[in-house]
Structure 1
Amino acid sequence: MKTYIFNHSKLNVNWRSKIFILFFTIVSFVSCTDLSESTYTFINPGTYYNTEEELQSALNSVYADFRKFTAGYKTLMTLELLTEHAMPAHSSKDGVKNFNSWQGVNQSTTYNIQIWDSGYELINRCNVVLGRGDKVNIEEKKRNQIYGQARFFRAYTMFVLLRIYGGLAIPESYTSGLNGLEIPRKTIDETYDYIIDDLKYCIDNLPSRSQWGNGAYYKASKGAAQALLGDVYLTRGCMDNYNTTYFQEAKKYLGDVISSGEYELLPDYKSLWYWFVEEAAKNTKESLLEIQFGATQVSDLHCYFGINTKDECLGGKMYARAGIAHKSYFSFQDEDVRKQCFLTEYTITGTTTRRWWEPEYKGFSGKGEGMWPSTSPGCVKFYDRTKSCYDTGGSKANYIAMRYSDVLLNYAEVENYLNGPTEDAYSKLNAVHNRSNSNPIATGLSKEAFDDAIFQERVWEFIGEGHLYYDELRTNRLGKNVYEYKTYMFENGYYNCQKLQFVPQKTFLWKIPQTSLDSNPALEQNPDNVSDPKYPL
C-alpha cells in the first residue's frame, strides 16, 4: 500500500526526529481527567500493534493529540479576533492586532498558527489506528468501537480544516516513511463526502453516552457523531446556496440527538463552568464532547480572555491576548445569567483595593480609579480560581467542544430554513434562551427576523468559545459585521484597534502554510481572497 506524508515543515530541518516523534510515539491515556503522556521509544509499527492493549494505546495518542489540536489558545484566540466579538488586549504578541484588523490575509505565512500542521498530525494518528487494527486479535465489536473513535476524530479534524482551507489532501493510509510525498487536494464536495462517510460509520458503531457509562463520558459517542454530522450538513447546505436537501439531512441527525434522551440543558448556565462549580462542571449531560484537563495535564486557556494580571482570587497568571468586544458585552441584558461569565471587578487578595473595568476609557487601562489591567472584561469560561491553579499556573477547567445547546440552536436554524419559524423551531430556541434570560423571545417573527434571533442567541451562548467565526462565515454575516464594528472601533480610538485592512466574503479561505507546500509539491495554494467590494476601505 502506498503511503503519504504532506504536512511537515521543510524536511531538511531535523526531519528524522520529526518523523520519529510524529509517527512512532504512543501516548498513555491515564484517566479521563489526567491525560499524561508516556513515550515508548524504538517501536517498530509493523510488529508492535498485535494486541488490544497496544491498539488502545495508539487510540489514546489520538485523544491526547486531539486535546492539543482543539484546545490550543492561539486557535481559539485567532478565531474570535477575526470576528467582531473580540478586540486585542494589552499584548503585541501572537499577532493579535494584525488578526483583528485582517492584515496579510493573502500571505501564506501570516495565518500559520499550526492548525494545518497539527490537524494532519492528528489525522495521521487516526490512520495509524485504522491501518494497523485489522492485524490485532480482538473482538470485532471492540475493534469497530476503536475504529469509530478514530474515524470520529478524523472527521472532526477534517471538518475544521475544510471550513478554514477548503478541499483537503486526503491520505490513503498512515505515513511510515519518506516515500510517496506528493498527494493532491480533493474538491470541497469530495472532502464533505469523506467526512460524512466517517461519521455514518461512527453512528453505526459507537456506543451512546449512557452505554459508555460513568467514567467514560469523555469518549466519542454516537450522539456526538450525530450532532457533528448535523452540523456538517447544516454548514454544507449554507455554503451550497442554502441547499434544502442538505438541510433535511441536518434536521434528521440533529433530531436524532434530541430524541435520544441522552442529553439535556443544565438548569443553570453557570454550572457549565469550572469557575462557579469546579469539578462538578465536567462531563455533564449537556456536554457531547469535552477536552479533559486535570492535575497533570493542565490548560492554558485562561490566558485567552484573561485580564493581564496575577492574583490568588483569580487563579493562574493571565496574559490577556484578547478581550471581549465592548459592544458584545453590552448586548447582554442585565437579567441574562450568561453575563455573569464575564469578570468586571475583583479585590486584590489581602487588601481592600478594588479593580473594576471602566468602559469609558475605550480599553486603555490605568486612567480610571479602578485601574483595570486589560481592555475588556475577562471571560471566566476557562478560569480555575483554585489555590492550586494560582500556585502552578495551570487550569484544570475542561474545554467543552460540543454542547447540547448548540444542537438545539442548529435544529432551530435548519427548521427555520426549511419551514420558517414554526412552533418546533421556537421551542428549541426558547429552551436555550429561557434557561438564561427571563425576557422572552418575541413571537410572530418573520423568517429573516427569527434567523437573526437565532444568531444573536448563538453570540450570547458561545462567545469566547471559538464557534462564532464559523457561524458568521457560513451565514454570510462576517464581512458586514466586521466592517461595521471594527471601523467604528478604529475611528473612535479604541486601544490596539487598527484600521481594517480587508473585508471577508463568504468564500474566504486561509492560505495553506508555505512550509506544507514545500513539503508536498502536489498541493495547490488557495487563490487570493478579494475584499468585499460592498465595503470600501
Structure 2
Amino acid sequence: MKSIYLRKKTLLVGRWSVIAALFVIVTLFSGCTGLTESPYTFVDPGNYYKSEEELESALNSVYADFRKFASNYKTLMILELVTEHAMPAHASKDGVISFNCWQGVNQATTYNIQIWDSGYEMINRCNVVLGRGDGVNMSDEKRNQVYGQARFFRAYTMFVLLRLYGGLAIPESYTSGLNGLEIPRKTVDDTYDYIIQDLEYCIANLPTRSQWGSSSYYKASKGAAQALLGDVYLTRGCMDNYNTTYFQEAKKQLSDVINSGEYELLSDYKSLWYWFVEEASKNTKESLLEVQFGPTQVSALHCNFGINVTDESLGGKMYHRSAISHKDYLSYQDDDVRKQCFLTEYTITGTDTRRYFEPEYKGFSGKGEGKWPSSAPGNMKFYDRTKSCYETGGSKANLIAIRYSDVLLNYAEVENYLNGPTSDAYEKLNKVHQRSLSVPVTPGLSKEEFDDAIYQERTWELVGEGYLYFDELRTDRLGKNVYEYKTYMYENGYFNCQKLQFVPQKTFLWKIPQTSLDSNPALEQNPDNISDPRYPLK
C-alpha cells in the first residue's frame, strides 16, 4: 500500500519565499573556501549573467544560501526535540517545551518546521544558475560542473522538504517576478523521480573529491551525490512498503562510494570535531559534504546546543535550548570514545569551583558544588573553545552534512533488508562500531535484532547532527520511541518534560507555514495528522 504521501494537491509556491529571493544580498563564503565577497541579486538576471565569472558568482550564492539552509539551528533543534534523543532546556524560548511533547503539531502557525520558505528560496537560487548558464561563453565541461553543483543542492533541498511536507511543487525555472507562480503539486513518486534525475546528472558530471583538490574539498562532488542518492533510494524503499527494487539501487550507490577509495573513517572519532583538533577537523576524508564556517562566517549552533553559561574555557557564550537526552547519554558504555564528546563538567575560569552533570537530579540544576547549569550534557560537535570564539561569540566549527560513517551504516541497513545480517553487513557496521569500542557487535543476531543494532549505532554515532528524526520516521520507530520515552520522562518528573500530546505515525507530514497560505490562497495545506492509535494517550 502506497504511503499517504502520494496525495496530489495543487499549490502556489510561497510568495514570501520568492520575495525574499528577489532582493536578498548574499555574503559569499570566505576563510577556508577562498571565495571573495560580492553582491548578488535576482533583480534582473537576464542582464547580469553574461560571463563565466558572473555565473560563478551566482553559484557562490547557492553555497552561501545552503549554509543558511542546512545549518538552521531551529530545524536541527526541533527535529531532535520531537524524538526521544533530546531534552528541553532551562528556558522556554523557541517552543522547546511544546515541540518536546508534540503540542499543536496540526497548527500552521507556531508549531511547524519553518523551512518551507527558505527551501524554495534555495531552489530558486539553483534555478537561476541553471536558467542562465546556457547563455554564458564557457567550456561544456565547466558548464556541466556548474550545473552539477546547482542540481546537487536543489536535490538536497528537495529531499529535505519532501520528507517533511510530502510531494512538492517543482518550479522548472527561476523567478524574477511574481508572475506564473501557480505550480501544481507533484506526487511523492514524481518528486522522488525529479530528485533522482538531478543526482544522476551530478554523478555523471561532478568531479570526485580528489579531482576537485584540497582547495575545493568543500564543493559538491560525485561521491556526495552518490551518497545522497543512496539515502534517497533507502528512504524511498522504506516508505514504499520496504520495496527491494529501491533497496538494490541504494546498495549500488552506497557501494560505489565505499569502493571509490575517496573516503575513510578517521581513526579517532574525536578528531572530527573542532573542540579537539580545531582546523584539522575540517573537510577530512570522512566528510562528503560540510557547511563551511570560518573567521568571518561564523556559526551560532554552539549557542543553542550549549549549557547555558559563559566561561572562557568553553569559548563563546552558550545558551541551552536542547541537548542529548539522559537515556541516550547513559546508553553509552564508559569506554566508548563518543561519550567523551559531551560536555559534562568544567571548572569556572579563575576559580576552583567545578560544575558537573548530575543525572540523578532529572535535569534540574542539582545541589552542592555541581549545580549543572543545564538539563543535560552539552554536545561538543558544535563547540569552539578558542579565545577568538570567546571574544567574538562566533564558532568556526563546520557542520558535517554528509558523513562516511552514515554511508557505512546505510549500507549495512540496506544489505540487511535484502539479505539479512550477512558478513558484509556486519563488516560495515563493525567498522563504525569498533572505531569507538574495542568489542564488536554481537554475532549471530536475527534480521530484526541486527536492524535494531544498526539504529542504536546510528544514535551513538550521529546524535545531534540532524539524521535521527528522518531515520525514525522512515523505519516506523518514531511513534513507539516517542510514546515510551516521553511518557516515562513526564511521569518521572524530568525538568520541563510535559505530558505527551500526540504520537506521530510513519505518514506524518508537517504543516506548510500559515504565512505562505495567507499570501497565496491557492496553496492547499496538508491534511491534519492523526495520533497513532497503536499508542493511546492517557
Q: TM-score, normalised by structure 2?
A: 0.95
SS of structure 1 residue aligned to 2:215: coil
1:266 to 2:273 alignment: no
Give, in angstroms, the shift of residue 91 of structure 1. Answer: 1.1
1:428 to 2:428 alignment: yes
Q: Which residue is equivalent to 2:69?
A: 69
Task: Provide Cα deviations, 1:420-477, integer angstroms capped at 9, x if missing partner.
Answer: 0001000000000000011221101000000000000000000011110000000000
The amino acid of 1:21's aligned partner reads F
Q: Which residue is equivalent to 1:287?
A: 287
Q: Which residue is equivalent to 1:21?
A: 23
Runs of 4+ in structure 1 displaced over 4 angstroms? 33-37, 40-43
1:394 to 2:401 alignment: no
1:413 to 2:413 alignment: yes
Q: How far, CA to CA, are the matches of 1:295 and 1:141 in structure 2?
A: 33
Q: Which residue is equivalent to 1:181?
A: 181
Choose 364-373 or 382-391, whichever is displaced more.
364-373
Q: Which residue is equivalent to 1:499?
A: 499
Classify 1:36/1:165 alpha carbon distance in 2 versus 1 (closer, same or farther; 3 Å). Answer: farther
Q: Which residue is equivalent to 1:193?
A: 193
Q: Which residue is equivalent to 1:9?
A: 16
Q: How far, CA to CA, are the matches of 1:521 and 1:269 in structure 2?
A: 50
The amino acid of 1:360's aligned partner reads E
Q: Which residue is equivalent to 1:216?
A: 216
The amino acid of 1:281's aligned partner reads S
Q: Which residue is equivalent to 1:157?
A: 157
Choose 44-53 or 502-511, whichever is displaced more.
44-53
The amino acid of 1:6's aligned partner reads V
Give, in angstroms, the shift of residue 183 of structure 1. Answer: 1.4
Listed as ranges, the matches of 1:60-139 within 5 Å are 60-139=60-139
Q: Paired residues, what number?
A: 527
The amino acid of 2:500's aligned partner reads L
SS of structure 2 residue aligned to 1:184: strand
The amino acid of 1:73's aligned partner reads Y
Q: Which residue is equivalent to 1:448?
A: 448
1:251 to 2:258 alignment: no
SS of structure 2 residue aligned to 1:278: helix
8 Å CA contact retained: 2:31, 2:296 = no
Q: Which residue is equivalent to 2:4?
A: none
SS of structure 2 residue aligned to 1:417: helix
Classify 1:34/1:77 alpha carbon distance in 2 versus 1 (closer, same or farther; 3 Å). Answer: farther
Q: How far, CA to CA, are the matches of 1:258 and 1:358 in structure 2?
A: 41
8 Å CA contact retained: 2:21, 2:42 = no
Unaligned runs of 5+ in 2: 1-10
Give, in angstroms, the shift of residue 32 of structure 1. Answer: 3.8
8 Å CA contact retained: 1:10, 1:519 = no
The amino acid of 1:357's aligned partner reads F
Classify 1:10/1:209 alpha carbon distance in 2 versus 1 (closer, same or farther; 3 Å). Answer: closer
Q: Which residue is equivalent to 1:358?
A: 358
The amino acid of 2:418's aligned partner reads L
Q: Which residue is equivalent to 2:276?
A: 276
Identity %: 80
8 Å CA contact retained: 1:183, 1:520 = no
Q: How far, CA to CA, are the matches of 2:318 and 2:30 in structure 1?
A: 28
Unaligned runs of 5+ in 1: none
Give, in angstroms, the shift of residue 305 of structure 1. Answer: 2.1
The amino acid of 2:223's aligned partner reads G
SS of structure 2 residue aligned to 1:346: strand
8 Å CA contact retained: 1:490, 1:499 = yes
Classify 1:521/1:42 alpha carbon distance in 2 versus 1 (closer, same or farther; 3 Å). Answer: closer
Q: Which residue is equivalent to 1:378?
A: 378
1:301 to 2:301 alignment: yes
Give, in angstroms, the shift of residue 36 of structure 1. Answer: 6.8
Q: How far, CA to CA, are the matches of 1:161 and 1:398 in structure 2?
A: 23
Q: How far, CA to CA, are the matches of 1:248 and 1:233 in structure 2?
A: 8
Task: Provide Cα deviations, 1:344-386, integer angstroms capped at 9, x if missing partner.
Answer: 1000111111000111111111534311100001110000000
Give, in angstroms, the shift of residue 133 of structure 1. Answer: 0.3
8 Å CA contact retained: 1:490, 1:498 = yes
The amino acid of 1:7's aligned partner reads G
Give, in angstroms, the shift of residue 483 of structure 1. Answer: 0.4
Q: How far, CA to CA, are the matches of 1:69 and 1:41 in structure 2?
A: 18
Q: How far, CA to CA, are the matches of 1:295 and 1:174 in structure 2?
A: 32
Task: Provide Cα deviations, 1:374-421, integer angstroms capped at 9, x if missing partner.
Answer: 000111000000000000000000000000000000000000000000
Task: Provide Cα deviations, 1:201-246, integer angstroms capped at 9, x if missing partner.
Answer: 0000000000000110000000000000000000000000000000
8 Å CA contact retained: 1:131, 1:173 = yes
Q: How far, CA to CA, are the matches of 2:396 and 2:476 in structure 1?
A: 36
Q: How far, CA to CA, are the matches of 2:152 and 2:257 in structure 1?
A: 16
1:230 to 2:237 alignment: no
Q: How far, CA to CA, are the matches of 1:64 and 1:342 in structure 2?
A: 29
The amino acid of 2:269's aligned partner reads Y
Task: Provide Cα deviations, 1:145-199, integer angstroms capped at 9, x if missing partner.
Answer: 0000000000000000000000001102111112123112110000000000000
Listed as ranges, the matches of 1:319-338 within 5 Å are 319-338=319-338
Listed as ranges, the matches of 1:35-50 within 5 Å are 37-40=37-40, 44-50=44-50
The amino acid of 2:330's aligned partner reads F
Q: How far, CA to CA, are the matches of 1:179 and 1:152 in structure 2?
A: 26
